[in-house]
């Protein structure tokens, strides 16, 4: 899949937000505008640009391009104490002090602090600097300035006027078609809160292709989940997924850090092949709830002090059952989700879309041993999800895109004597055992949010991209033995 949808959306909203050119470390930020490019480990990794804009006195620069030499700085902190001096009495250094350095938002050198921009909380001559400083002596050789900088933008006043920002980013370089670089991102999850649950690990090979874009093969572990030794659920799955994410954000830094607009774009292609095997030996009604099966992180985007995007690809399984007989069932869920496109929050002009026409069930097996009147109702779900965690200025929320493929089978059976049969009702069937089976499927694609994000979206923000029910099989059979067996292929 080529990420043309993301590219078009980013171009559209870049124009709308007035995003500026990328950062140039050789040009000083002395005109009220400055940019920072997200560093990328390779040509296929995440890419993004952060732009800030304010008054001439509100935005400045303490990099070499503005005439400064950094003498001391902690490169791993968001609250840094920086010692710096002006190189060769460079007149560009004066820009920092227009209206006073304190309260100015400055661009930092790449090796200084974790953040691209910071607020000057304090500026004074370092105690080791013996040269007197006056309004006409700021550029004298030998003066060492001590700056305390941080990302506490809420503590900044508006003495230098307002400062705004825009950010755009993508998990891939949109316009590149270079071959992917193999790299593993794998993090298995196990455990379940229900104390009744026992786990025995089953190892299988999965193939996950997450479009940052890298292809991985790693052994994964899926638990065989047993409820009170009466019901067991095995899951075996193989998933191929291509995920491209992009986002745009704009807001205010001063006088109050906030996000005024935010959009996430996603392209999702792939397919999932799985089998859910359910065995029950006693009467039981249960709901497993969503059980984590697999989770892998997608390389995200981080702008310290501003915004962090942390996407993950997850698969969860869920089984609901009402059983009044012994049952052995296997459900094959094989489906593709190519062409799924998300825009969130939902907005006019650029809409989410998904087109799916076929049932997610490819096969079904059920074997039951009824006694008198009996019922077996089993509903199984397999739910791949792209979960996008977002944090900005101390506020956190998440956006999800999930694909829920489910199958439901209901068997009503009556037995009064031994008998046997098959799906074609062949053989010398008797009326002693009869079963009526209904099989259906549902495939839905939904987007939503968890948490409130600056009033732009919250838990109530929903987007139903696709939903379709499939009636697959409905038939009553007689059996020749004491059991009913159905083997169906769709």
Length, in residues, of the chain? 490
Lowest pLDDT segment from 194-203, 349-358, 406-415, 427-436:
194-203
Q: Residues 268-326: pLDDT tens digits?
A: 888 888 888 888 876 778 888 888 888 888 878 889 899 999 999 888 888 888 888 88
Kindly state the tokens that stand for 244.
Answer: 């491209």
**pLDDT of res. 135:** 37
For residue 122, what are the contacts with CB-CB under 8 A and spacing of at least 6? 102, 146, 147, 148
Please tell me the distance from the alpha carbon of residue 432 to that of residue 410, in angstroms, as a whole number.
20
Please tell me the distance from the alpha carbon of residue 214 to that of residue 216, in angstroms, as a whole number.
7
Please tell me the distance from the alpha carbon of residue 485 to that of residue 386, in angstroms, as a whole number.
37
**pLDDT of res. 65:** 95
Please tell me the distance from the alpha carbon of residue 46 to that of residue 302, in angstroms, as a whole number.
10
Contact 311, 297 (CB under 8 A): yes
Please tell me the distance from the alpha carbon of residue 442 to that of residue 356, in angstroms, as a whole number.
11
Lowest pLDDT segment from 12-21, 145-154, 173-182:
173-182
Please tell me the distance from the alpha carbon of residue 299 to that of residue 401, in angstroms, as a whole number.
17
Q: Which of 193-197, 218-222, 283-287, 405-409 ranks highest by mean pLDDT?
A: 405-409
- Residues 348-376 have a mean pLDDT of 75
Please give the C-alpha separations between residue 103 and each of 85, 118, 151, 307, 432, in angstroms, as whole numbers: 19, 10, 11, 21, 87
CB atoms within 10 A of CB 449: 23
Residue 50 burial by Cβ neighbours in a 10 Å radius (0-12, 13-18, 19+): buried
Q: Which of 428-437, 442-451, 473-482 ranks highest by mean pLDDT?
A: 442-451
**pLDDT of res. 337:** 84
Contact 356, 445 (CB under 8 A): yes
Chain mean pLDDT for the chain = 76
**pLDDT of res. 480:** 60
Residue 83 burial by Cβ neighbours in a 10 Å radius (0-12, 13-18, 19+): middle
- Please tell me what DSSP assigns to residue 16: H
The DSSP line for 60-117 is EE-SGGGTEEEEE--TT-SEEEEEEEEGGG-GGGGGGGTT-STT-EEEPPTTSSSSSE
| pLDDT band (50, 70, 90) for residue 174 | very low
Contact 249, 321 (CB under 8 A): no
Q: What percent of the chain has pLDDT over 90?
A: 36
Q: Residues 245-254: pLDDT tens digits?
A: 889 999 999 9
Lowest pLDDT segment from 115-129, 161-175, 214-228, 410-424:
214-228
Please give the C-alpha separations between residue 382 and each of 103, 127, 339, 464, 465, in angstroms, as whole numbers: 52, 64, 19, 18, 17
Please tell me the distance from the alpha carbon of residue 367 to that of residue 483, in angstroms, as a whole number.
7
- Asked if the model's pLDDT at residue 192 lies above 50, the reply is no
Lowest pLDDT segment from 5-9, 159-163, 251-255, 475-479:
5-9
* pLDDT top residue among 1 and 453: 453
Lowest pLDDT segment from 21-25, 184-188, 369-373, 413-417:
184-188
Q: What percent of the chain has pLDDT over 70?
A: 73
Q: Residues 130-165: pLDDT tens digits?
A: 444 443 344 445 689 999 999 999 998 888 999 999
- Asked if the model's pLDDT at residue 40 lies above 80, the reply is no
| Bridge partners, 259 (sequence order) | 251
Please tell me the distance from the alpha carbon of residue 406 to that of residue 197, in angstroms, as a whole number.
23
**CA-wise closest residue to 248 among 211, 299, 301:** 301
Kindly state the tokens that stand for 271.
Answer: 């397919």
CB atoms within 10 A of CB 192: 16
**CA-wise closest residue to 94 among 68, 117, 119:** 68
Indicate the SS3 state at residue 383: strand
Lowest pLDDT segment from 183-192, 206-215, 412-421:
183-192
Q: Residues 81-91: pLDDT tens digits?
A: 899 999 888 89
Please tell me the distance from the alpha carbon of residue 86 to that of residue 130, in angstroms, as a whole number.
15
Please tell me the distance from the alpha carbon of residue 389 to that of residue 295, in angstroms, as a whole number.
14
Residue 302 burial by Cβ neighbours in a 10 Å radius (0-12, 13-18, 19+): middle
Which H/E stretch holds residue 357? none
**pLDDT of res. 249:** 95
Lowest pLDDT segment from 18-22, 29-33, 254-258, 284-288:
18-22
Phi, psi of 89 (to 5 degrees): 50, 45
Contact 238, 300 (CB under 8 A): no
């Amino acid at each position: 899949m080529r990420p043309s949808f993301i590219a078009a959306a980013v171009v559209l909203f870049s124009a709308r937000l007035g995003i500026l050119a990328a950062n140039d470390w050789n040009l000083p930020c002395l005109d009220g505008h400055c940019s920072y490019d997200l560093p990328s480990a390779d040509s296929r990794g995440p890419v993004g640009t952060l732009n800030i804009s304010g008054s001439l006195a509100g935005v400045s620069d303490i990099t070499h391009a503005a005439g400064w030499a950094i003498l001391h700085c902690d490169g791993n902190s968001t609250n840094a104490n920086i010692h710096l001096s002006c190189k060769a009495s460079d007149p560009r250094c004066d820009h920092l002090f227009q209206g006073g350095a304190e309260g100015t938002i400055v661009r930092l050198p790449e090796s200084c602090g974790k953040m691209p921009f910071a607020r000057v909380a304090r500026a004074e001559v370092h105690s080791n600097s013996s040269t007197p400083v006056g309004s006409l002596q700021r550029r004298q050789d030998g003066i060492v300035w001590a700056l305390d900088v941080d990302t506490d933008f809420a503590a900044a006043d508006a003495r230098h006027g307002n400062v705004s920002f825009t950010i755009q980013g993508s998990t891939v370089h949109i316009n590149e078609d270079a071959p992917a670089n193999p790299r593993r991102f794998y993090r298995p999850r196990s455990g379940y809160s229900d104390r009744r649950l026992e786990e025995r690990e089953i190892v299988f090979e999965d193939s996950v292709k997450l479009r940052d874009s890298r292809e991985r093969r790693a052994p994964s572990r899926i638990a065989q989940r047993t409820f009170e030794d009466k019901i067991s659920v095995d899951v075996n799955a193989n998933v191929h997924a291509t995920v491209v994410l992009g986002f745009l954000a704009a807001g205010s830094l001063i006088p109050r850090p906030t996000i005024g607009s935010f959009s996430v774009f996603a392209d999702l292609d792939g397919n999932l092949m799985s089998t859910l095997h359910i065995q029950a030996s006693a009467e039981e009604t249960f709901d497993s709830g969503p059980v984590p099966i697999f989770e892998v992180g997608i390389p995200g985007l981080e702008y310290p002090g501003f915004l962090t995007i942390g996407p993950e690809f997850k698969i969860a399984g869920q089984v609901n059952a009402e059983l009044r007989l012994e049952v052995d069932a296997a459900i094959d869920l094989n489906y593709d989700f190519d062409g799924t496109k998300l825009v969130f929050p939902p907005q006019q002009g650029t809409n989410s879309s998904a087109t799916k026409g076929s049932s997610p069930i490819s096969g079904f097996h059920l074997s039951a041993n009824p006694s008198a009147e009996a019922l077996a109702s089993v509903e199984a779900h397999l739910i791949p999800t792209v979960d996008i965690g977002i944090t900005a200025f101390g506020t956190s929320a998440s956006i999800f895109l999930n694909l829920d493929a489910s199958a439901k089978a209901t068997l009503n059976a009556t037995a009064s004597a031994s008998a046997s049969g098959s799906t074609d009702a062949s053989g010398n069937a008797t009326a002693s055992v009869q079963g009526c089976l209904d099989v259906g499927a549902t495939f839905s694609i939904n987007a939503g949010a968890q948490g409130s994000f600056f009033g732009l979206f919250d838990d109530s923000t929903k987007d139903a991209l696709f939903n379709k029910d499939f009636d697959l099989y409905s038939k009553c059979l007689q059996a020749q033995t004491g059991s009913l067996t159905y083997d169906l292929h769709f």
